């Protein structure tokens, strides 16, 4: 039961707490609005990426407390160029694997370049490490701005070919918060 429901007391007819927003819900909405406004108005300034990363990191720390700890970390069962199976689910497009879920059909702003905007879900999840699969032939590059923002957010970056990235992700995923951003083809 949220703080506000405790303060308002029980609804006598239903014996359920009244429908209210939790403090976390209100804070999350506020952060989202501020973050979106900040990024779209200040993104051109030289210090904007580090400020943006700092805001995302603070919000992510709050969100991490809300994530259920009993969720199993997704596991990659198989990979071949253009196809991956994660926890029994097949994907034929690029994916982001977060500690608590998989985002399929991941699309980037620029095909073979990884920009900070492409990793919004990763910044929100705030993992300890991000394993980037750059494709079978490592054609997808991680931009300098992306490297800076990951560093500022305290997320260790490991970038390599996707076959090696899959192995690395599976080896590192147990016991720590690890995410992967995998380009499945070239």
Query: In this structure, are residues 49 and 149 in contact, taking their beta carbons and an 8 Å threshold?
Result: yes
Mean pLDDT by 10 residues, the chain (186 residues): 41 44 59 64 59 63 46 90 96 96 93 95 96 97 97 97 98 92 95
pLDDT for position 111:
87
Contact partners, residue 19, CB within 8 Å, separation at least 6: none
- What architecture is domain 76-182? 3-Layer(aba) Sandwich (3.40)
pLDDT for position 174:
86
pLDDT for position 18:
42
Q: Is the pTM of this model over 0.85?
A: no
The neighbour count for residue 15, using CB atoms within 10 Å, is 7
| Token representation of residue 9 | 């007391």
Ranges of each domain in the chain: 3-66, 76-182
pLDDT for position 186:
87
């Amino acid at each position: 039961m949220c703080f506000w429901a405790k303060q308002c007391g029980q609804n006598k007819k239903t014996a359920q707490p009244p429908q209210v927003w939790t403090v976390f819900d209100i804070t999350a909405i506020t952060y989202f609005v501020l973050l979106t406004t900040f990024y779209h108005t200040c993104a051109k300034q030289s210090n904007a990426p580090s400020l943006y990363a700092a805001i995302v990191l603070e919000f992510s720390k709050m969100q991490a407390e809300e994530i259920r700890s009993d969720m199993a970390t997704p596991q990659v069962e198989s990979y071949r160029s253009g196809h991956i199976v994660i926890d029994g689910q097949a994907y034929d497009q690029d994916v982001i694997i977060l500690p608590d879920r998989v985002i399929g059909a991941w699309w980037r702003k620029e095909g073979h370049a990884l920009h900070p905007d492409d990793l919004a879900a990763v910044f929100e999840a705030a993992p300890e490490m991000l394993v980037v699969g750059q494709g079978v032939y490592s054609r997808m590059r991680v931009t300098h701005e992306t490297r800076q923002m990951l560093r500022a957010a305290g997320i260790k970056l490991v970038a390599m070919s996707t076959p090696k990235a899959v192995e690395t992700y599976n080896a590192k995923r147990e016991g720590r918060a690890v995410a992967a951003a995998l380009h499945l083809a070239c």
